[in-house]
Amino acid sequence: MHVLVTGGAGFIGSHYVRMLLQAPGSSGLTVTVLDALTYAGNTANLADLAGDRRLRFRRGDICDRAVLDELLPGVESLVHFAAESHVDRSIEDSDAFLHTNVLGTQRLLDAAVRHGVRKFVHVSTDEVYGSIERGSWPETHPVQPNSPYSASKASSDLLVLACHRTHGLDVGVTRCSNNYGPMQYPEKVIPLFVTRLIDGLTVPLYGDGRNVRDWLHVEDHCRGIELVRTAGRPGEIYNIGGGTELTNLELAERLLAATGADWSSVRRMPDRKGHDLRYSVDWSKVRDELGYRPLHDLATGLAATVRWYQDNPGWWRPLSGSLASAPDRCAVPTGSV
């Protein structure tokens, strides 16, 4: 079995690659990572797997047809994580979002059809649904994205589903809630807060802090994706949630407590433009059809995540340094994942 993972040097993709290679019975597996190594890509995320001969890394752009024609022959499954993933960056300049998330996804689909890929899993987001005050979105809810990021992801979802209908490619689309865990680029709220608080710096909180996000441990997300890859029905969308909603105020409170800081470390910021109030996915479909359930509870998972950043400053210090020149853009205390 040969699996191609796009964006495998990013946060979630690298956890997924590790899960694949460490799974029992995976000795016959080959994994190719295709990653452009943008600011968010980091080969250090795969460093512990460097000696594994089943893993091949190729730096390249998913929009590059020649690279795809080089890599796709023989690939049976393609799991597509590569994306521009930060809402605030998309509000500033959306070009890279349209390039990678929209054009890149279509180029991958075309190449998958050309080379007879058997399964294509597209990793998307709950943000495509927009914002919901009460209840949770089922997969049948229409997409109503509110940022260039979420609009580009919704567009890519539609392209993936259209490819299934046009060419019969066996696709699965996953829409997950906010991920957290080790090795997340420190512009996203949890690593941003934790790394700044470790260094005794202030952290930025948008608006009134009442925006609600559902938190999902990255390893639970990866298990959900793997269930969709191996057992999901062709052409279906599966929501993947963590079952733990918090306001940003509640999240900030927990992170302050975990790092021994208090509210004097919090700077209030004007709200993000078009800031979605609440995301909430109904993930009963992936639970009932594929047996998914999150294994990490938030309190334990968050404590272990904070400990990981405390124990691994060598991973994040070089990255946080590059953020220092743009502190406001990196002020993203919401689920802009």
State the nearest-atom distance from the C-beta of 4 to ligand NAD, in Å.
Answer: 11
- Residue-wise burial string across 171-207, b where 16 or more C-beta atoms lie within 10 A, e elsewhere: bbbbbbbbbbbbbbbbbbbbbbbbbbbbeeeebbbbb
Q: How far apart are CA 183 and CA 173, in angstroms?
A: 24
Contact present, 221 and 13 (Cβ < 8 Å): no
Q: Interface residues with ligand NAD (CB under 6 A)?
A: 6-7, 9-13, 34-38, 40-41, 61-63, 81-85, 100, 104, 123, 125, 153, 176, 178-179, 185, 337
State the nearest-atom distance from the C-beta of 185 to ligand NAD, in Å.
Answer: 5
Catalytic residue list contains 289: no
Residue 153 backbone dihedrals phi, psi, to 5 degrees: -70, -40
Determine which one of 88, 127, 157, 220 is catalytic: 127
User: Going by DSSP bridges, is the β-strand pair 30-35/55-59 parallel, antiparallel, or unpaired?
Assistant: parallel
State the nearest-atom distance from the C-beta of 295 to ligand NAD, in Å.
Answer: 17
Residue with Cβ nearer ligand NAD (82 or 323):
82
Determine which one of 61, 84, 88, 126 is catalytic: 126
State the nearest-atom distance from the C-beta of 184 to ligand NAD, in Å.
Answer: 7
> Would you give the DSSP letter of residue 24?
T
Q: How far apart are CA 185 and CA 203, in angstroms?
A: 16
State the nearest-atom distance from the C-beta of 28 to ligand NAD, in Å.
Answer: 26
Q: How far apart are CA 192 and CA 186, in angstroms?
A: 5
Q: How far apart are CA 171 and CA 165, in angstroms?
A: 10
Catalytic residue list contains 292: no
Residue with Cβ nearer ligand NAD (11 or 261):
11
Minimal CB distance residue for ligand NAD: 10
Give the DSSP letter string of 176-232.
E-EEE-TT--TTSHHHHHHHHHHTT--EEEETTS--EEEEEEHHHHHHHHHHHHHHP
Residue with Cβ nearer ligand NAD (244 or 261):
244
Q: Which residue has the tokens 């000696």?
A: 51
State the nearest-atom distance from the C-beta of 144 to ligand NAD, in Å.
Answer: 16
Residue with Cβ nearer ligand NAD (57 or 185):
185
Catalytic residue list contains 127: yes
Contact present, 214 and 177 (Cβ < 8 Å): yes
Residue with Cβ nearer ligand NAD (149 or 266):
149
* Rounded (5°) CA angle 65-68-73: 135
- Which positions are catalytic? 126-127, 149
